[in-house]
Amino acid sequence: MDYGLALDTALNRLHDEGRYRTFIDIERRRGAYPEAVWRRPDGTERTVTVWCGNDYLGMGQHPAVLAAMHGALDAAGAGSGGTRNISGTTVYHKALEAELADLHGKEAALVFTSAYVANDATLSTLRAIFPGLIIYSDALNHASMIEGVRRGGGEKRIFRHNDLAHLRALLAADDPAAPKLIAFESIYSMDGDFGPVAGICDLAAEFGALTYIDEVHAVGMYGPRGAGVAERDGQMGRIDIINGTLAKAYGVMGGYIAAGARLVDAVRSYAPGFIFTTSLPPAIAAGAAASVRHLKTGGALREAQQLHARMLKMRLKGLGLPVIDHGSHIVPLHVGNPVHCKMLSDTLLETFGLYVQPINFPTVPRGTERLRFTPSPVHDAGRIEVLVNALDRLWAQCGLNCAGRAA
C-alpha cells in the first residue's frame, strides 16, 4: 500500500469539502481577557478578540484562581508524581473533590483529567458494576458519552433528541427487571438547547432507571451556586450521576463525576481510565478548587454573561441573521455551508480582528455548519457592536440568505 498517497487522499478530501481544520495560534495574556495575541503564520502579531472560547466567565484569569495555583506550585512542585492509586492523591485532589461533592449536594466526587475521560470511563465501567445494564442515550449526546456507551458493550437504546415519548416507548418495551440508565445532557453545545431534566427524571422514577447527566456546559453557569441546570430546575437530588468539567466556566482543566459514595467508590475501583492515568498536577487541582469555591457565590458573573448573550442574540435577530436561540448562553449562527463558514471565520479574523472558529462536519451534520459565539461577562456592549457590524457587512458579501432562516 502507498501510505503516503492514502494520507494525501484523506487530507485532500477535507480541503475539497471545505472542512479542513486550521489551528489559530493565539497567546492569552493575563488581564487582557477576552483579547489575545494572534501569531500569524508569517510571524507577525495582531491583537484579536476571542469570541469562541470556553472560558465562559473569565475564571482562567481570576486572581483567586491564579493565587491558588501559584501557592500549590510553590508548595508541591509541578506534577502529581503518579496515578491516584500510586502516590498521586494529594491534599489538593481531596480538597477539590470535597468542593465538587458539596457543589452538587452529593456524598462524593471523583476527579479525572478531562470530562471526556470522565464520561468515557464512567459509562464504559457501569456495565461491569451493573450486569445486564441497558443504557438509553440521547441521539445528540457528546462523542465522549457515545464512546463510553459503545466501549462498555451490552444493550443500548438511542432515543430521539429530547423526545420523552420516544424514551418512554423504549423503556416500556424492555424487561421491567433489567437495570437501566438514562444518559443525557443538560445543555447541548452545538445548538445551545436544554435537556428536559424533570421529564427524564420522572421517567427514570417510573421505570426504575438511574439518571446520568452531562452538565459540562452548565456547571458554573446556572443555578444559585453554579451547580448547573439540574440545580436551577430543582432536580439535582433526582440525578444519580453528574458529570462536569473544570475547563469551561471554571477556567482551568479536568473533569469529574459526583454521585453517591458507593457508586463513586465502585467507579474509582473499576474504571481503567481512572486507575491507569496520572492525576492532575496539584496546581491545577488547587486552581480548580478555588474557582469552584468562588463561583458558588458568583451570581453577578453569571447574570452579566447571560445579559451579554441575550444582547448579542437580539442584535443578530434584528439584522435578520439566522441565530439559533434556545435561551442558553451559547449563540450559534447558522451558515449551512462549510466553505462560507470558513470564509466568514477567516475574514472576521483577518479584517476585523475577531476570532470565532467555524464549526463543520463531523461536529455538526452537513448542511448545518455554523459560527458559534460564547459571550462572557466582559464581552460588553462595545465589543458586541463591533462584532455585529462586522457580521452585517460580511453576510451580504458571502451571498447568504439572511431572511427567513432564524431558528
Residues involved in catalysis: 248
Can you tell me the distance from the alpha carbon of 388 to that of 182, in angstroms, rounded to the nearest whole number?
40
Sorted by sequence, the CB contacts under 8 Å of residue 151 that are 6+ apart come out as 120, 124
Can you tell me the distance from the alpha carbon of 258 to that of 225, in angstroms, rounded to the nearest whole number?
15
φ, ψ dihedrals at 403, nearest 5° = -90, 145
Sequence length of the chain is 407
249, 256 Cβ separation under 8 angstroms: no
286, 358 Cβ separation under 8 angstroms: no
Q: Which helix or strand (DSSP H or E) is residue 285 part of? A: helix 282-295
Can you tell me the distance from the alpha carbon of 317 to that of 295, in angstroms, rounded to the nearest whole number?
31
Q: How big, in percent rounded to 5, are the helix, strand and coil portions of the chain? A: 45, 15, 40
Can you tell me the distance from the alpha carbon of 184 to that of 210, in angstroms, rounded to the nearest whole number?
11
- At 46 the three-state DSSP class reads strand
- Find, among 281, 288, 228, the residue nearest to 252 by Cα: 288
Q: What is the end-to-end Cα distance of the chain in Å, rounded?
A: 47
- At 355 the three-state DSSP class reads strand
179, 186 Cβ separation under 8 angstroms: no
Can you tell me the distance from the alpha carbon of 340 to that of 350, in angstroms, rounded to the nearest whole number?
15
**Cross-strand pairs, 184:** 213
